[in-house]
């Protein structure tokens, strides 16, 4: 089994997240992509983040009807900070025979050396850096410059179609009463409205 793991705050999930997941699923022939909403992300300390289970519920609405995608709430059940290495180790225990692919935006790749146990992350999974719209195409030489030759050997680069949607912009749109039509799945838009999120 080839299993993709895409973490994030997903606050809220939008079509950019879903397109990234689907692009990786197709280009890497993944059997399933697990979407993992962050519990308490260490890089967002002090930020106001929507309740984790509400974020997971929106994810569930977004991928409903697509069996190749699953929402995984393991970080929401864990106490303390959510570290990628801990989550990947959990997946390795639960999916002993699976080949794990850790999916992230190319712009996040340069920060991996500052994460907890970066070498272990590369031991547990193949790291997949996805080119984000609006940024220069990621080249292997750039990866080497960011994380070094040894770790760069374990990186796969995927390019997704251009779409420039950010969760922070969507939250501002809600505050400005501009709506989210065609930026998030309709069921997610209705959930946000029903629960009065981001106002």
pLDDT at 46: 60
The predicted-structure confidence for 53-82, as pLDDT tens digits, reads as follows 999 999 999 999 999 999 999 999 998 888
- CATH number of residue 24's parent domain: 3.40.50.620
Domain count, the chain: 1
DSSP-based three-state secondary structure for 156: strand
pLDDT at 45: 60
Question: In angstroms, rounded to a whole number, what is the distance separating the alpha carbons of residues 27 and 4?
Answer: 11
When comparing pLDDT for 33 and 41, which is higher? Answer: 33
3 state SS for 67-94 = CCEEECCHHHHCCCCCCHHHHHHHHHHH
Distances (CA, A) of 145 to 106, 140, 151, 169: 13, 9, 11, 30
**pTM above 0.85?**
yes
Domain carrying residue 123: 2-195
The predicted-structure confidence for 136-194, as pLDDT tens digits, reads as follows 788 999 999 999 999 999 899 999 887 789 999 999 999 999 999 999 999 999 999 99
pLDDT at 7: 96
């Amino acid at each position: 089994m080839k299993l993709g793991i895409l973490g994030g705050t997903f606050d809220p999930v939008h079509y950019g997240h879903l397109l990234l997941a689907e692009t990786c699923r197709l280009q890497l022939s993944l059997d399933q992509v697990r979407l993992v909403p962050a519990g308490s992300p260490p890089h967002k300390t002090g930020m106001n983040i929507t309740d984790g289970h509400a974020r997971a519920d929106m994810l569930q609405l977004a991928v409903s009807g697509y069996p190749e995608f699953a929402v995984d709430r393991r970080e929401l059940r864990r106490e303390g900070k959510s570290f990628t290495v801990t989550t990947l180790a959990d997946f390795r225990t639960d999916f002993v025979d699976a080949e794990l692919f850790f999916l992230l935006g190319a712009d996040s790749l340069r920060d991996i050396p500052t994460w907890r146990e970066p070498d272990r992350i590369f031991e547990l999974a193949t790291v997949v850096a996805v080119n984000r719209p609006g940024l220069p195409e990621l080249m292997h030489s750039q990866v080497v410059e960011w994380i070094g030759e040894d770790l760069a050997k374990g990186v796969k680069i995927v390019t997704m179609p251009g779409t420039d949607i950010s969760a922070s912009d969507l939250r501002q749109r809600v505050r400005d009463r501009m709506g989210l039509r065609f930026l998030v799945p309709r069921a997610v838009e209705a959930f946000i409205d029903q629960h009065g999120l981001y106002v």
